[in-house]
Structure 1
C-alpha cells in the first residue's frame, strides 16, 4: 500500500518538484553562485529556487546583480525544467532513448500535462520539445539582434540576455536580468511584442497546441477545451488591455507621458503578462488601485491548462461562467460550442476555485498579521505568488521571514498543488453502489 501511494502520479510529480527545489537551493547556496563570492542566506536561496522551479518570478534580490553568471545559469535551468514540467522532460528523455514509453512514464507525464488519455502523452511530448526549441531559439536570436543593433549591447551580453529572457518568457517565469524588468524597453515594440508572443505560446497550454497542430485547418473540430481556452484568453487580453488603458491613460507615473501608440503597446503587454508571465514594462507599484484590482482577477485566473502558466486556469473560469449562464437561463445543462460540459468537470472546476480562493484568503490573513503594509499590496503579492505570476508592487524583499515563507508555500501550491489536486480529482472519481435520497436545500 505504501509503495502504491508513493507511486501515484500526482504524488510523484510533487516529490520531484521538491527534489528539484532542494537541488536548486543547494546550488544557489554555493559561494560561486553569488556575485560577491559569498554564500547566500538559506531563505534567499530557497525563495529563489522555489520561485524559479514554480516559474513565478518573485525575487527577494536582484537577479542580474546578486547572482554570479553561474547563479544566473542555475536560475535559468530551474525555471526551464520547472516550466514545462519534470514529467514532460522525463517523457522527452524516454522518447530520445526509446520511441515507446512505458506505462508508468506515461502515467507520470499525464499527471503533469493533464492529457486526456495515455495515447496523447507521446504527441504532447513531441509538441513540447518542438515548440520549446523553436520558440525559445527564435526569440533568443531575435532579442540578441535587437539588443545589439538597437540598444548597443555587446554581442556576448546581448546573446546571454536574449537567451535568458527568451527562456523566461516562454516558461512564463518572469525573471529578468534587469532590476526594472523590461521597463527600459517600454517603448520598443520589437522587444515587447516578441516577448508577449513567447508568453502567449508558452502559457496557452500544450494540449491546445497539440490540437491546433493536428487540426489547424479545421477549427470547427477543435476540442471544447481548445475553444474555451482560446476564446477565454482572447477575451481577457482584450478586456484587460482596454481596462488598463482607461485606468492608466492619464497616470503620470505609468502610461500618462507616452504617446497613444506606446500606451496601447504597454496596455496589451501588461494584459498578457498579468496572466502569469511576471514581466512588467511599467512600474507595478505606481499603478492605480483599479489596475491592481484588475490584476487580482487576471493573476488568479491565469493561463491555459498543462502549459507554463499558473492560476486556476482559464478553462476553470470558463466552465464556472458557463454554469452561471446556464443557471440564469434555466438550462439543465452547461453548454458551449454545441457541446455539454460533463458533470465531473463542473465539480472539479468548482472545487479548484473554492480551494484556491480559500488558500489565497488564508495566506492573506497570515501575511497581514506579520506586517503593517497596505492590505491591497499584500493581496497583490499573495495572488501573484499563488498564481505563479511574479509581478510585485515592490514589497517582496521587505516582507518578514514568516511572510516570505508563506509566499514560498503559495508558489509551490500554485504550481504543484493545483496539478496534484486536479489529477487526484480526475483519477479519484469512482461510482458508488448506492446513493442517498435527494433533497433541495434553500439557496440564497
Structure 2
C-alpha cells in the first residue's frame, strides 16, 4: 500500500508546487503590469506609505535627543523632507534628533532617492510600451539598457538603477571618510559622517549632522569637492548617468536628452556662479572679506547647491536681494529629469527655449542637435512650468496669510525651495506655526511627486481622434 501511495503523494506535491509557482508568476506579472501602466498611482501610494512610516518613527521618543516625543507637525515635516529629499528642517538635525533619529532621516533620504530614480525609470518603460516595437528599440537606445530590461522587464532595470546609485554613494563616502578622520574625528564618527553626507549629497537632500553645518569646512575642497560631485551626479538623472557610463565622452553617441541636460546644466552652473560672485563679491556679510580663491570656491559651491543640493556655506538671510532673486530662479529651474533633483527640470527649460526660438524664426518645428522635438513634449513642458508656478504662488499666498510678518521675499524663497526640493532656507520653516509647516510639507510632496505624476498622466493619456476641428487662431500678446 505504501509503495503505491508514494508516487501519488509525490505527484500531488509536484502539482501543488507547480500551482504555487504559476500563482507567484501571475502575481509578479500583475505587479509589473500595474507599475508600468500606473506609475502615477504607484508614486502617490509608495511615497504616502513611506511618509506615514517615517513620521511615526520620528515622532517616537527614541528619535529625539531629549527622549521626548516630537510634535506631529515637526515629525511629519521632517519625514516629508527626508523622503522627498528636500532638506528643509523645522528643528536642528544635529541637536534635536538622536543618532536613531538621524539614522531614520538618512534612511528616508536614501529610500526616497532610490524611489524617485525607480519611479522615473518605470515611467520611461511605461512610455516605451506605448510606442510599438520601433519605439521600444529607440527607448532601449536612449536608456542605454540591455535586452529585455528596456523592452519591459521592470526588475532588470531596477537592479541597474539601485546598483548604480549605491555604488556612486559608496564612492563618495570613501572620499569623505578619510578627511573626517584626518580632521580629528574618531573612526566610527568619521564613517558615520562620511556615509551621511554621501547619501545626503547624491540624493540632493542637503541634511547635515553637524550643528554648525558646513561652515567649518568652507575652504576645505577635500570635503566640498566630493559633496559637489555627489550633488552634480545626482542632479543629472539616471538616464544621463547610464549614457556617460557606457559612452563616456563620446558625444556623438549621446542621445538628445543627455545633450540637452548636460548643456543646460553647465550653462546654469557657470552663469549661476558668475552672477552670484558678481553680486556677492564685496558683500561683507557673505564673502566680501575672503580672498579671491575662497570667493571662487564659494561661488561655484553656491551655484551647484542652489539648483537642488541644499547645502550652504553662508546664511541665506545675509545675501543681497539680487542674489536671493538669482537663487529663486535657479531653485525653480532644478536639475535633470529622472534625477534626485527637483524643480521644473533643465530639459523643460531647454524645450521651452527651443520652442520660443522656433517661433521667433517662423519655423514650424523646434529642433536641436539634428532632432525634432514632438509637439506633445512641448505641451508637457508648458504644463510642468504652469503647475510649478501655480503651486509656488498658492503656497506663498498661504504662508503670508498665516503669518504676514514673514515678508513676501522670504515666503517666496521658502516656497520655491520646498517646491524645488532644494532645502535652502531663510528660517521660515522653523518660524512658521504648525499650519505653515503643513503647507510647506504639502508643497514638498507636490513638488517631488507632482512632475512625475503629471508627466506620466499626460504621456499615458495620449489618444488618437478620428476627426479634426477647424483651425482658428486667437490673438496672442
Do they superpose with TM above 0.5? yes
Match of 1:365 among 381, 384, 397: 397
Kept in 1: contact 2:129–2:152 (CA 8 A):
no
In structure 2, the partner of 1:24 is 54
Match of 2:204 among 166, 172, 175: 172
Match of 1:8 among 38, 42, 52: 38
Structure 2 Cα separation of the partners of residues 259 and 400 of structure 1: 41
In structure 1, the partner of 2:365 is 333
DSSP 3-state at the match of 1:335 = strand
Match of 2:173 among 140, 147, 156: 140
After superposition, give the CA deviation of every residue in 1:20-58 in whole Å (9 maximum; x if it has no partner).
000000111111111111111111110000000000000
- Structure 1 length normalisation: TM-score? 0.91
Kept in 1: contact 2:307–2:335 (CA 8 A):
yes
Kept in 2: contact 1:312–1:387 (CA 8 A):
yes
After superposition, give the CA deviation of every residue in 1:369-403 in whole Å (9 maximum; x if it has no partner).
11111211110000000000000012211012211
After superposition, give the CA deviation of every residue in 1:73-118 in whole Å (9 maximum; x if it has no partner).
1001000000121672999xxxxxxxxxxx999659999x999754
Structure 2 Cα separation of the partners of residues 345 and 107 of structure 1: 15
Match of 2:445 among 398, 409, 412: 412
After superposition, give the CA deviation of every residue in 1:106-149 in whole Å (9 maximum; x if it has no partner).
659999x9997544856753442333222211221221211121
The reply on whether 1:63 has 2:93 as its aligned counterpart is yes
* Distance verdict in 2 for CA 1:141–1:87, change over 3 Å: closer
In structure 2, the partner of 1:392 is 425
The reply on whether 1:270 has 2:270 as its aligned counterpart is no
Structure 2 Cα separation of the partners of residues 78 and 362 of structure 1: 27
* Distance verdict in 2 for CA 1:342–1:15, change over 3 Å: same
Structure 1 Cα separation of the partners of residues 213 and 461 of structure 2: 42
In structure 2, the partner of 1:47 is 77
Q: How many residues align?
A: 429
Quote the offset at 1:180 in angstroms: 3.4
- Structure 2 length normalisation: TM-score? 0.85
* Distance verdict in 2 for CA 1:251–1:24, change over 3 Å: same
In structure 1, the partner of 2:112 is 82
* Distance verdict in 2 for CA 1:110–1:402, change over 3 Å: farther
After superposition, give the CA deviation of every residue in 1:140-197 in whole Å (9 maximum; x if it has no partner).
1221211121x22222211111110111001000111123321221111111111000
Larger radius of gyration: 2
DSSP 3-state at the match of 2:307 = coil
Structure 1 Cα separation of the partners of residues 79 and 246 of structure 2: 36
Kept in 2: contact 1:109–1:121 (CA 8 A):
no
Kept in 2: contact 1:175–1:279 (CA 8 A):
yes
Match of 2:286 among 254, 263, 266: 254
The structure carrying a bigger helix percent of its residues is 2
Structure 2 Cα separation of the partners of residues 226 and 119 of structure 1: 22
Quote the offset at 1:199 in angstroms: 0.5
In structure 2, the partner of 1:38 is 68
Structure 2 regions of 5+ residues with no counterpart? Answer: 1-30, 131-138, 144-149
* Distance verdict in 2 for CA 1:157–1:104, change over 3 Å: closer
In structure 1, the partner of 2:243 is 211
RMSD, aligned CA? 2.7
